[in-house]
């Protein structure tokens, strides 16, 4: 129990806990249906239930890189927040809403669709902020606010930035409730990609050749099987890398300005871009890592504040999203790697992230591989 476990978008045993959750689903045992037969509403309900449990909130708040970045960004924007109205989209336990009140906001609407809203209300009360922070239960798409707001704050980022598709809720809230020229916290997001040599994966693939020296049985023939199992799948793997795993200078391949008109449609159609790398040196290349950063306006005379999930920065609970090729490819110094990457919602469940990859390594022919996010859910208070 050293770490809260990763959450699944499909609520399992874990998703049922907490009194709030029971209230939400009326205490009835849900029947598991094939996903494709679920309505959007049913899938959304399942999604909200994932946030009814304590572990996901513990993981997010315990992520100091994340929570400190939001806290600092909110406090630095005190002059924009002071006496103003704020909408917190997906408020979770309400901590960001309280930061906004502490920064001087006159009125904060903390909107939360999952049963955790009840806990947020308790936290607001405990901190004596009932007069300034109003917790509203429901999806932000349908909730009614008494007024337009000056600021929208939201921690909407999922694995690979776009898993969970919560950004589209933020954008709808922006269109509906943010005053012209209002502030968005964060204001933009950038996506990065780099080719990788994953040292942990390398160890796991090499494991079978070590069995003989440990136990006197030659199991090296399982390396091919291990490669097919660990690399041959089309799932996006969420793991943390270190800087040494990166094989070339990372590149930004997409930039999302949250105030940009038409961004919602872009997300539906797929966001991404082309890349080209020149390798640092000789290594087995396993695929690509993608990660993101979000940027907050710096407030008065401050530099913008960046929350980064780069493998060169301290690890966050988002780690990195890894796209493995079907097998390792040997690269040398200056090997040319090029291609294109596109992030888009799954056709089966719009909350699930899909990634299309086209790539060419050295003289090899160009290949494509499509990926889907493992069931993991994360993040977003």
Q: How many residues bind to a second copy according to rule CB under 8 A?
A: 65
Strand-pair category, 320-331 with 305-308? unpaired
- Interface with a second copy includes 370 (CB under 8 A)? no
- Interface with a second copy includes 73 (CB under 8 A)? no
Q: Which is nearer to a second copy, 1 or 261 (CB)?
A: 1
- Give the closest residue to 87 by CA, choosing from 175, 5, 207, 190: 175
Q: Which is nearer to a second copy, 54 or 145 (CB)?
A: 54
| 164 noted as active-site residue | yes
Report how far residue 329's alpha carbon sits from residue 162's, in angstroms, rounded to the nearest whole number.
Answer: 28
- Interface with a second copy includes 1 (CB under 8 A)? yes
- Give the closest residue to 322 by CA, choosing from 294, 350, 353: 353
Element (H, E) at 305: strand 305-308
Q: Tokens for 235, please give them.
A: 């799932």
Q: Which is nearer to a second copy, 58 or 244 (CB)?
A: 58
Q: Which is nearer to a second copy, 42 or 334 (CB)?
A: 42
| Binding window for a second copy (CB under 8 A); candidates: 63-71, 169-177, 287-295, 362-370 | 63-71
- Interface with a second copy includes 39 (CB under 8 A)? no
- Interface with a second copy includes 58 (CB under 8 A)? yes
- Give the closest residue to 91 by CA, choosing from 157, 187, 147, 155: 155
Q: Tokens for 297, please give them.
A: 């306006």
Closest distance to a second copy from the beta carbon of 373 (Å): 10
Asked if residues 292 and 343 have their Cβ atoms less than 8 Å apart, the reply is no
From 164, 235, 264, 332, active-site residue: 164
Pick from 67, 295, 378, 380 the residue near a second copy by CB under 8 A: 67
- Interface with a second copy includes 207 (CB under 8 A)? yes
Closest distance to a second copy from the beta carbon of 219 (Å): 5
For residue 249, with 0-12 CB atoms within 10 Å meaning exposed, 13-18 middle and 19 or more buried, which class applies? exposed
Q: b or e along 314-337 (b: 16 or more beta carbons within 10 Å of the residue's beta carbon)?
A: eebbbbbbbbbbeebbebeeebeb
- Interface with a second copy includes 38 (CB under 8 A)? no
- Interface with a second copy includes 198 (CB under 8 A)? yes
Distance of CA 34 to the CA centre of its chain: 25
Closest distance to a second copy from the beta carbon of 107 (Å): 18
- Interface with a second copy includes 65 (CB under 8 A)? no
Whether a cis peptide bond, with omega within 30° of 0, leads into 186 is yes
Pick from 175, 220, 255, 368 the residue near a second copy by CB under 8 A: 220
Q: Give residues with Cβ within 8 angstroms of 123, minimum separation 6.
A: 93, 94, 95, 98
Q: Which is nearer to a second copy, 104 or 362 (CB)?
A: 104
- Interface with a second copy includes 218 (CB under 8 A)? yes
- Interface with a second copy includes 27 (CB under 8 A)? no
Pick from 40, 82, 176, 228 the residue near a second copy by CB under 8 A: 228
Report how far residue 326's alpha carbon sits from residue 262's, in angstroms, rounded to the nearest whole number.
Answer: 35
Task: Tell me which residue has tokens 């606010």.
Answer: 145
Q: Which is nearer to a second copy, 25 or 55 (CB)?
A: 55
For a second copy, what does the binding mask look like between residues 152 and 191, x meaning CB under 8 A? ----------------------------------------
| 144 noted as active-site residue | no
From 10, 155, 202, 302, active-site residue: 155
Report how far residue 163's alpha carbon sits from residue 161's, in angstroms, rounded to the nearest whole number.
Answer: 6
Asked if residues 165 and 107 have their Cβ atoms less than 8 Å apart, the reply is no
- Interface with a second copy includes 243 (CB under 8 A)? no
Q: Give residues with Cβ within 8 angstroms of 357, minimum separation 6.
A: 288, 323, 339, 340, 341, 368, 369, 370, 371
Catalytic residues: 155, 164
Residues of this chain that bind a second copy (CB under 8 A):
1-2, 4, 12-13, 16-20, 31-35, 53-55, 57-58, 61-62, 64, 67-68, 71, 93, 95, 98-99, 102, 119, 122-123, 125-127, 198, 200-201, 204, 207-208, 211, 214-222, 225-226, 228-230, 232-233, 235, 237, 239, 374-375
């Amino acid at each position: 129990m050293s770490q809260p476990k990763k959450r699944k978008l499909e609520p399992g045993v874990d998703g049922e806990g907490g009194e709030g959750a029971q209230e939400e689903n009326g205490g009835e045992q849900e029947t598991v249906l094939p996903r494709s037969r679920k309505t959007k509403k049913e899938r959304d309900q399942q999604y909200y239930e994932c946030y009814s449990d304590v572990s996901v909130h513990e993981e997010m708040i315990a992520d100091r890189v994340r929570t400190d970045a939001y806290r600092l960004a909110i406090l630095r924007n005190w002059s924009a927040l002071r006496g103003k109205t704020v909408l917190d989209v997906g408020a979770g336990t309400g901590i960001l809403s309280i930061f906004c009140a502490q920064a001087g906001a006159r009125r904060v609407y903390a909107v939360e669709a999952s049963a955790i809203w009840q806990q947020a209300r308790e936290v607001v009360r405990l901190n004596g902020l009932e007069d300034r922070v109003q917790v509203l239960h429901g999806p932000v798409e349908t909730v009614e606010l008494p007024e337009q707001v000056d600021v929208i704050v939201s921690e909407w980022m999922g694995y690979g930035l776009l898993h969970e598709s919560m950004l589209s809720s933020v954008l709808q809230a922006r269109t509906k409730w943010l005053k012209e020229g209002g502030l968005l916290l964060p204001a933009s997001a950038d996506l990065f990609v780099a080719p990788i040599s994953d040292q942990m994966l390398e160890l796991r693939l090499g494991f079978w050749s070590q069995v003989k020296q440990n136990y006197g049985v030659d199991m090296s023939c399982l390396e091919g099987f291990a490669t097919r199992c660990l690399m041959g799948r089309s799932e996006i793997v969420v793991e943390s890398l270190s800087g040494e795993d990166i094989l070339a200078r990372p590149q930004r391949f997409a930039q999302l300005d949250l105030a940009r008109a038409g961004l919602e449609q872009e997300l539906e159609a797929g966001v991404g871009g082309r890349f080209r790398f020149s390798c640092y040196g000789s290594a087995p290349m396993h695929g690509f890592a993608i990660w993101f950063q979000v940027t907050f306006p710096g407030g008065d005379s401050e530099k913008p504040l960046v929350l980064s999930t780069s493998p060169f920065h301290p690890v966050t609970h988002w780690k990195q999203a890894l796209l493995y090729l079907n097998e390792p490819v040997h690269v040398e110094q200056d090997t040319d790697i090029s291609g294109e990457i596109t992030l888009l919602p799954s056709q089966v469940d719009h909350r699930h992230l899909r990634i299309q990859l086209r790539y060419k390594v050295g003289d090899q022919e160009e290949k494509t591989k499509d990926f889907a996010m493992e069931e993991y859910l994360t993040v977003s208070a």
